[in-house]
Structure 1
Amino acid sequence: MRETDLWARLNRHLGSAYAQVWADQTSLAGLGNRTVRDALRAGVPCKTIWRVVWEALELPAIER
């Protein structure tokens, strides 16, 4: 998964404005208590980030 795909999915599920805020402010245990943005900076693969986000947002299995 590319970073652009990750952002497209976040925007689809959270809305483009809120996705940015959520990615900057929400710490996720599955990412080592980092935010999405911090995880990206740390080099965590986008696919890994999406799986943690998917679980945190309790999205349907089809979105995984």
Structure 2
Amino acid sequence: MRNTVFRKLMSDEFGQVRAEMVARDHVLSALGGRTPDQALEAGLPPKAIWLAVCEAFDVPEHRR
């Protein structure tokens, strides 16, 4: 998964503004205590970050 696909999935799920806030501000233990943006900067795969966000926000399986 590319970063652009990750951003689109985030925007589709949460709306543009909330997606940006979640990516910037929401710290996830599954990402080593990082926000999604920090995890991307650290080189974690976008797909793993997306799945961590999905788990944290109970995104239904069919939208993952």
Q: TM-score, normalised by structure 1?
A: 0.94
Residues of 1 paired with 2:22 and 2:59: CA distance? 15
Which structure 2 segments of 5+ residues have no match? Answer: none
2:12 matches 1:9: no
Aligned position for 2:57: 57
Q: How does 1:33-52 map to 2 (within 5 A)?
A: 33-52=33-52
Residues of 2 paired with 1:60 and 1:3: CA distance? 21
Which structure 1 segments of 5+ residues have no match? Answer: none
TM superposition shift of 1:21: 1.2
TM superposition shift of 1:38: 0.2
Residues of 2 paired with 1:24 and 1:50: CA distance? 14
Root mean square deviation of aligned Cα: 0.7
Q: Which 4+ residue blocks in structure 1 deviate beyond 2 angstroms? A: none
Q: 1:63 is aligned with what amino acid?
A: R
How many residues end up aligned between the 2 structures? 64
